[in-house]
Homo-oligomer: A and B are copies of this chain.
Amino acid sequence: MNGSTTVEDYVKTIYGHTEWQPESITPSALAARMGLAASSVTEMVKKLAASGLVTHVPYGAITLTDQGRALALRMVRRHRLIETWLVESFGYGWDEVHDEAEVLEHALSDRMLDAISRQLGQPTRDPHGDPIPAADGTVRLPDAVLLSQASDGHRGAVVRISDRNPELLRWLDEHAVRLDAPIEVIERRPFGGALAVLVDGHPLDLGSDAAAAIWLAA
C-alpha cells in the first residue's frame, strides 16, 4: 500500500520542492534531491500514482494529490517537530538535527509525537524557521523574501534559513545570523558578487549561496 519509509520520503521531498515556490517537480529534479537514479524515480512515481499520492502524465511533472499532500504534511510535521525536540531537549545544534530527524520521523509513534509536541508547548516553527504543520495538516508560511532577491535597503528579521547545508548553518551562527536577527540590505555588488548587509547593526558580506538560503520578513 502506501506508507513505507521510502514512500514517506518521496512525498516529503516532493512537498519540500513546492513549499516556497510552488511549481511541480520534474522527475530529474526529484532524483537529484533524493540522490537516486532517474530510473528509480520513474518507477516509484508510477507506484505513487497508482496508490493515489501523486498525479503524473508520462514525461510530465509530478504533483501531489490531496492525499499525497496530507501524507507529506504529516511527515513534515514529524520531521520539524523532531528537529525542534532534538535542539530543545537534547542539546543538538541546529546544524546537527537533520539526519537524525530523517530517521526518527519514520519511527516515532503518533502517541510519542503528540507527547513531544505537548512537552515543547506545541511549537509552530522548527530551529530553522520552517513552519511546523498542525496535526490537522494546516500550515501557515510566513510572508518572506529571499535575501538574495531583496531590494537594497530592505529591512526585516530572519524568518527562515535553509537547513540544507550544515556548514553554512555553522558559519551563519558564528556570524550572528540566527532566527529573528534583524537584517538590513546595504548593497548588492554586481556580477554575482557578495551582498553587503547589516546583521543586528554589524556589517557582514554574504556570498550568493548564503544569500539564497536566508529569508527575511517581507
Closest Cβ of chain B to A158, distance in Å, is 28
Q: Please state if B107 and A103 are interface contacts (CB–CB under 8 Å).
A: yes
Closest to A109 in B: B100
Tally A residues with Cβ within 8 Å of B: 13
Q: Shortest beta-carbon distance, A83 to chain B, in Å? A: 13
Q: Which residue of B lies closest to A108 (CB)?
A: B104
The reply to whether A115 and B100 contact each other, CB–CB distance below 8 Å, is no
| In the bound complex, CA of A178 to CA of B170 (Å) | 49
Smallest CB separation, A127 vs chain B (Å): 16
Q: Is A57 an interface residue (CB 8 A)?
A: no
A112 contacts B100, C-beta separation under 8 Å: yes
- Indicate how many identical chains form the complex: 2
A interface secondary structure, majority: helix
Contact B115 A90 (CB under 8 A): yes
A97 to chain B, nearest CB (A): 11
Assembly CA distance A91 to B112 (angstroms): 10
**Does the CB pair A115–B103 fall under 8 Å?**
no
Distance in Å: Cβ of A89 to nearest Cβ of chain B? 8
Name the residue of chain B whose CB is nearest to the CB of A116.
B90
Whole-angstrom distance between the alpha carbons of A112 and B106 in the complex?
A: 16
Q: How far is the CA of A112 from the CA of B107 in the complex (A)?
A: 14
Q: A100-B112, A104-B108, A107-B107 are in contact. List 10 more A-B contacts (CB 8 A).
A: A86-B112, A90-B111, A90-B112, A90-B115, A91-B115, A100-B111, A103-B107, A103-B109, A104-B107, A106-B107
